A and B are shown apart, each in its own frame.
Chain A
Amino acid sequence: MLGRLRDVAGWRERTLDEAPATLSALRDLLAREDPALGEALAGKGVQAAVNKALVRADAAIGPGDEVAFLPPMSGG
Chain B
Amino acid sequence: MTVRVQTEPFDAGALLTDFSAGRLNAGGIVSFTGLARETTDGAAVATLELDAYPGFTEPAIGAMEAEALRRFPVQDVLVVHRYGPIQPGEAIVFVAAAAEHRRAAFEAADFLMDFLKTRAPFWKKETGPSGERWIEPRASDYDDVKRWSAISGEVDAGSPSKSRQED
Q: Which residues of A contact B (CB under 8 A)?
A: 2-4, 6-7, 44-49, 52, 54-57, 68, 70-76
Contacts and interface: CB of A to CB of B under 8 A. Distances in A.
A73 B60 CA distance: 12
Contacts of B59: 52
Contacts of B119: 73, 75
A56 B135 CA distance: 25
Counting chain B CB atoms within 10 Å of each CB, the highest count among A2, A47, A70, A75 belongs to: A75
Contacts of A68: 53, 56
B81 A76 contact: yes
Counting chain B CB atoms within 10 Å of each CB, the highest count among A54, A74, A76 belongs to: A76
A56 to B, nearest CB: 5
Counting chain B CB atoms within 10 Å of each CB, the highest count among A44, A46, A47, A48 belongs to: A47
Counting chain A CB atoms within 10 Å of each CB, the highest count among B50, B92, B163, B164 belongs to: B163
Interface string B60-95: 000000000000000000000100000000001100
A75 B116 contact: yes
Given A2-B53, A52-B53, A70-B53, A75 B167 contact: no
B134 interface: yes
B117 interface: yes
B160 interface: yes
Interface in B143-167: 157-158, 160, 162-167
A70 B124 CA distance: 12
A44 B124 CA distance: 17
A53 to B, nearest CB: 8
Interface in B96-128: 116-125
A76 B165 contact: no
B139 to A, nearest CB: 13
A4 B162 CA distance: 25
B135 A74 contact: yes
